[in-house]
Chain A
């Protein structure tokens, strides 16, 4: 009972301090909000500002006798004599202008060379028999050579995705053309152009969703979803981990600064005074630990709910979120007790604990803070497991990604083990101090 009184007293004090409130709730929500608006705005204005992919095309297509399209229906209004011309005109169209920058080479060697010297990121080589192969109903195999800078990922991926869409559309076209040719008189060859056109329109419509889909790594955007929903989802996949990272970081901060109140109370003489009342040392320490736990608990629960309401972040299913949150709360509180038990005074801890929390926090959340770097990603997987923050955020991410309950549980148990170790060491050290 007295332990609870001590904890309530500490909670009252924490929540009365504007400084504490700002750090517990204000900063994590504000930072996330900043990202939300930063990314939210660009998402609304038609996607993130990806650097344009530079594409160099060597169009060697010599056309085929039976290939004809209606020029006025072709995107970009260009007259296309060959299948190759058609691809070129699509890549040059206004719809693609945001994503790619097209230039031309006279022959395949020049095109490849300009990728080699990094003037372009992708070279597309359309072979001379492309139209012919395309029009060959039985055995034709129309292939475009795709030559890319191996050190790059995003630009060529954008291109490949566009082309895949296009080629998928084209194989549809090819089947349609075959069907058409089978059923039509040979003199109607000119009509094939219209059929192709129809499929092209479809595949271009699809490619408008391209950016969203490319960046949206975890949530595959189904094609039926409207654009607004897509950019919202995309935003959340970025905001979610940031909010999670902020929450873990500041929960640890709260844990450490609340546990620091044991030292503060010693310096402000209220701890010795507590020892003059008929209250056992175990009760006093329990009360202090309880207050750390409850303060961090309040913070995490409020942040989970607030970020759900404000940003619409989906933290996962209920039991997983509970497990992940328990992991964060327990590890942050016990880590706070643990590190403070090594400090003789708040003077010492004030200088050191900011540094310790920053370093371990960065280690644990390296993946979130260094978003797009491949090296950070790889490093993050191992380094983050060396600090409790890594496990705490891992549980939350697993819950967010909808991973099976068992994975979340295992992470939670590992986090619990960390917490137990910190807790035992911290309590033993504090106990020894005050006997």
Chain B
């Protein structure tokens, strides 16, 4: 039983009118691992998570969570599941303790057990000393921690975390990432979504890259990086460019992708030793000046660039 997949996703489809938000996504998440859905905003991560938590009915396909079908056994799915929504979903006029206590009841906890779990969770999220303050008065990071705490109360076997680190300070982010690893160490299965490649890289056993509703790659970090082959990514900044330099770079032999974002140009090349001088030469020909160059180890951003022709960050 222990080698049974915690989550099996079979060809899920979901569209909102004309907008095909999820188009045939399939993947398996093993028990006790951290599995990341990595993709830019609008890729369909939240829609996928919503279907897997029985909030949205798929147009097609099915999924099993600890063996419970999302189509036929929603209650079974919900009872093994903890969901950390992308948005903070708490009652701001109630205290952290009251929030946890209420949500604990919704997960079926009562009496002494509820009280004990609320105390434990408050300790885990480090808010024991401020537990009796209204959530509305908390900082963004503290709210995020309570938001996570709520879904831990009933000790779920599987936990979904939808972009839990968006919009918070680095310190809170660090503590959240640490707690995700701690959950895995306790034997929980974590389905994690993010658009930060570093997070996916740091946390995950397996990563699925999503774009435009489709899963474009899936595997371990190393497997994914191999997709880029021997390619290297070079990040450059240009001074006084009218766009012609970038066009010229695309035509250089050995350059597979060029993507510009916020003033930085990411170039994927087969061999940086051969290509780099040609990049300078082209810049000179168009009277532009390269002001910085960085040669990067192949990473998930390179993979995304390789697979989509676009940079991951939007």
Contacts and interface: CB of A to CB of B under 8 A. Distances in A.
Contact of A272 (B81, B85, B91, B94): B85
Nearest to A13: B93
Interface in B84-114: 85, 87-94, 98, 102-103, 105-108
Contacts of A13: 91, 93-94
A276 B46 CA distance: 14
Interface residues of B, number: 25
Nearest to A272: B55
A280 B75 contact: yes
Nearest to A269: B89
Interface in A276-295: 276-280
Contacts of A12: 94, 98
A2 B106 contact: yes
A292 to B, nearest CB: 17
Contact of B106 (A16, A17, A269, A279): A279
A186 interface: no
Interface in B59-92: 75, 78-79, 81, 83, 85, 87-92
A274 interface: yes
A139 to B, nearest CB: 85
B89 A278 contact: no
A5 B85 CA distance: 22
B87 A9 contact: no
B102 to A, nearest CB: 5
Contacts of B127: none
Would you call the interface of chain B mostly helix, strand, loop, or mixed?
loop
B89 A272 contact: yes
Contacts of A272: 55, 85, 89
Contacts of A268: 89, 91-92
B53 interface: yes
A229 to B, nearest CB: 47
Interface string B106-134: 11100000000000000000000000000
Contacts, number: 58
Interface residues of A, number: 19
A103 interface: no
A269 B79 contact: no
A272 B106 CA distance: 13
B85 A269 contact: yes
A5 B103 CA distance: 10
Contacts of A278: 75, 78-79, 106-108
A225 interface: no
B75 A273 contact: no
A272, A274, A275, A276 pick with most chain B CB within 10 angstroms: A276
B93 A276 contact: no
B75 A270 contact: no
Contact of B89 (A9, A16, A273, A279): A273
B94 A276 contact: no
A223 to B, nearest CB: 57
A84 B171 CA distance: 101
Which 6 A-B residue pairs are closest in the complex by CB-CB distance?
A: A269-B89, A273-B89, A277-B106, A276-B83, A278-B79, A278-B78
Given A5-B102, A13-B93, A276-B55, 17 more contacts: A5-B106, A9-B91, A12-B94, A13-B94, A16-B93, A268-B91, A269-B85, A270-B91, A272-B85, A274-B106, A275-B54, A275-B55, A276-B53, A277-B107, A278-B79, A278-B107, A280-B75
Interface of A: 2, 5, 9, 12-13, 16-17, 268-270, 272-280
8 contacts: A9-B91, A9-B98, A12-B98, A269-B87, A272-B85, A273-B85, A273-B89, A276-B78
